[in-house]
Structure 1
C-alpha cells in the first residue's frame, strides 16, 4: 500500500484563450491519483471541506479508486488559481487552509500496511500541518520507503531560509527525492541544480531526481547518474506534469519491489539500468500529462 499525505485543492485555470476551468488538484492529491491510474493501491491523507469544491475532490478521488481514510471537515476547500502563459506554463496564487488535527490519532491505522509514504509541496512547508506531516514521516520510516517532492511555492512560503531548512528536514528522512530545477534554483541560488541534488544525496536519500521541463530529467545515486529526454509532444498546459512524473517514479520503484523499510539497502544499491528505466517511465508519464488540459495523469495502458 502506498500512502500520500498532503494538500488537496481545486485548480482554477485561467488563460487568455480559453474559459476558466476548475480541476481537482494539489500536488500530493495528483500523485495519489497518478499512482492509482498506474494500478497500485493508494490512500490519500489530506483535508478538504464539505462545500461544492470539496465534493468535487471527493468524487474525483472515488472515481480514481483512491482510498480516503480521513473525513471531510467544515473548513473551506483550498483553491489554487493557475494563470497560463501563451506556452502553457502556469503561475499560481493560493487561498488555502492547511491543518490535520485528526492525523495523530489515526496514524497507527493509516500506516498499517504502508510500504511507501509520499509527501511534499505545501503540506511539508506550511504550519500548522507541516509539523504533523513531519511526525508522520518519522513514524513511518522504519517500515516504509519515504519519498519527498518540495514543489516549492514562493508565493506562499516567502522565506527561502525557512524553506531550505524545512526541505532539508524531509530530505534527510527520505529515500527518494524529486525536485524541479526551479525548486533548486530558488532554494540554492549559488549552486547548479546538479550540485544541489548532489548536496541532497549526501544527506541520505538513495535517489535524487531533477526535472527540467522540456529538457527532460536527470537523477543521481551513489552508483552514478542517468538522464531521460522528453518524447515529442504538443503542450496544452504543464499543470500536474511534475506530479505525474513523481507518480510514475514511485510506481516503477514498486514494480522493482524496492519499496519498504526492509528493502532500503537494496534501493540504495539501485543499478544504472534500473535507474534509467525508472527515469524514462516517469518522463513518459509527464509527457502524456502536458499533452492534455489540467492534472490528468496517464493510465498504465497509455504507457504500455
Structure 2
C-alpha cells in the first residue's frame, strides 16, 4: 500500500458527472468525477504517491471509476466496497460556472471508512468536497481530519458546490470546522464568500493564515494568491489558455499545489516565498492543462 512521508491520503467521493455533449443539450455523457477523486488522479499523474479512500459500488460506473484511478497510479487499498450504486452529479454549465443536481442517497459513494488510525502513515491528508458534508461520509471525514491535524499535514479544499439539491447553507458549518483544523487551505473566492458571507475573501484568508496556516486563494482567470502568517502574500497570474472546459480545473490546481508542496519528499505548511511562487505556478499550469481540453485529468506541466 502507498504510504510514507512523501505520500498523500485523499479521502472523499468518486462519482459520475453527467455532462452535456457539445451541440446537443439533450444528450449527456458519463464522466469520471468527484473532487477528491480528481485530485487523486492528478497527484498520481504528477508522480506523487497517493492512496484514494472512497466508497466504490457494484455497478458499471464503479468499475469505470476503479479502472480510471488504478490506471493513473492511485492505490485503492483503503476504499470500501458494496453492492450499492454510484452517486451521480448532473452537471449544468452556464455563464456563471457549473451547477449540479446530485443523486446521492443510498449510494456506495458515501460509505467511507474512518481512517483516523491510518493517517500517521502519510505525509499529507486531503479532504473536502461532498463527502465532507454528506452523511454517512461526513462523520468519517471529520474523524479522519481531526487525527490528520494531529499526526500529518491536513489539507482542506472546501469546494462549496453551487447546486440545486443540497441548498446554499448545507454543510457550511462542517466545512468551516475543517478549515479551522487544517494546516493548508485551498479555496476559491466563491468558496470563501459562501462560507463567510459578508467578509472579503482576502480578509478571510488573512484571518485563517494568522493561525499558522498556508492559505491559497484561487480566482479563476485572475490567478491565485498564497497567504501565510509570517510573509507578505504571494500572487501568480493564471496560465493563459483557450478554455474548452472548466470542470475539474480547481481539482487539478489542488493536485499541482500538493505535488509541489511535497516535492522535497515530505510536506510542510511553511514553505519559503520562492517555494510558494513555484507551487502556485505549477498549480496554475496544471489547472490550465484541464481547461484546454475535455475531461478532468491534467497533463504534466513542462519541467515538472
The TM-score, its normalising length taken from structure 1, stands at 0.88
CA distance in 1, matches of 2:185, 2:272: 17
Q: Secondary structure of the residue that 2:233 maps to in structure 1?
A: strand
Alpha-carbon offset, residue 174 of structure 1: 0.8
Cα–Cα, structure 1 residues 83 and 119, in superposed 2: closer, same or farther, change >3 Å? same
Match of 2:153 among 134, 139, 145: 145
Question: 5+ residue gaps in structure 1?
Answer: none
Q: CA RMSD in A?
A: 2.1
Partner of 1:240: 248
Q: Secondary structure of the residue that 2:85 maps to in structure 1?
A: coil
Partner of 1:83: 92
Alpha-carbon offset, residue 232 of structure 1: 1.8
Question: 5+ residue gaps in structure 2?
Answer: 1-6
Cα–Cα, structure 1 residues 180 and 303, in superposed 2: closer, same or farther, change >3 Å? farther
Contact 1:12-1:23 within 8 A present in 2 as well: yes
Partner of 1:133: 141
Contact 2:54-2:80 within 8 A present in 1 as well: no
The total of aligned residue pairs comes to 290
The TM-score, its normalising length taken from structure 2, stands at 0.88
Partner of 1:215: 222
Contact 1:171-1:205 within 8 A present in 2 as well: no
Alpha-carbon offset, residue 34 of structure 1: 0.3
* The structure with more helix, counted as a fraction of residues: 1
Off by >6 Å, runs of 4+ in structure 1: none
Cα–Cα, structure 1 residues 245 and 36, in superposed 2: closer, same or farther, change >3 Å? same
Cα–Cα, structure 1 residues 245 and 258, in superposed 2: closer, same or farther, change >3 Å? same
Partner of 1:158: 167
Contact 1:90-1:237 within 8 A present in 2 as well: no
* The structure with more strand, counted as a fraction of residues: 2
Q: Deviations over 1:200-258 (max 9, x none)?
A: 223x3521111111111112111220111112211111010000000011110101445
CA distance in 2, matches of 1:42, 1:92: 27
Match of 1:49 among 52, 57, 78: 57
